[in-house]
């Protein structure tokens, strides 16, 4: 499993893209979006929160869902799934996909690299 963003032009067209954003891209992507991992989509209440508050609330939601539920939701996409959202992270921004990746590594030992 890996993470990336919809606008990443270096992604190959055969990736297994899994949406973890509230919305989908409004432009044509070179890859097909295989589905949505709803337990990783941030709740609308998170929008506009400061990073530290956002992180705490998002992690609480991950804890509530639990590793087993999240694993079961991601399993159909296979080990090559790429969890996708909108933030590019190139300018030092932060994103929930990396908060999830850090949480996942702490909980399971599994490293989720950014493409």
Q: What is the pTM of this model?
A: 0.91
In this predicted structure, the answer to whether residue 92 has a pLDDT above a threshold of 80 is no
In this predicted structure, the answer to whether residue 93 has a pLDDT above a threshold of 80 is no
Angle at 64 between CA 104 and CA 75, to 5 degrees: 50
Q: Please, are residues 33 and 18 in contact by the beta-carbon 8 Å criterion?
A: yes
Q: Please, are residues 18 and 34 in contact by the beta-carbon 8 Å criterion?
A: yes
Confidence class for position 114, pLDDT limits 50, 70, 90: very high
H or E element, residue 105: helix 96-108
pLDDT tens for 23-80 read: 999 999 999 999 999 999 998 887 777 778 889 999 999 999 999 999 999 999 999 9
């Amino acid at each position: 499993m890996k993470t990336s963003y919809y606008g990443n032009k270096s992604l190959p067209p055969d990736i297994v893209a899994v949406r973890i954003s509230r919305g989908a891209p409004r432009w044509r992507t070179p890859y097909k979006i295989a589905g949505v991992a709803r337990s990783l989509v941030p709740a609308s209440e998170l929008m506009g929160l400061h990073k530290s508050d956002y992180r705490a609330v998002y992690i609480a939601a991950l804890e509530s869902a639990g590793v087993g539920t999240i694993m079961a939701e991601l399993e159909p996409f296979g080990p090559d799934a790429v969890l996708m959202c909108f933030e590019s992270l190139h300018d030092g921004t932060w994103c929930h996909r990396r908060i999830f990746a850090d949480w996942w590594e702490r909980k399971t030992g599994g490293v989720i690299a950014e493409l």
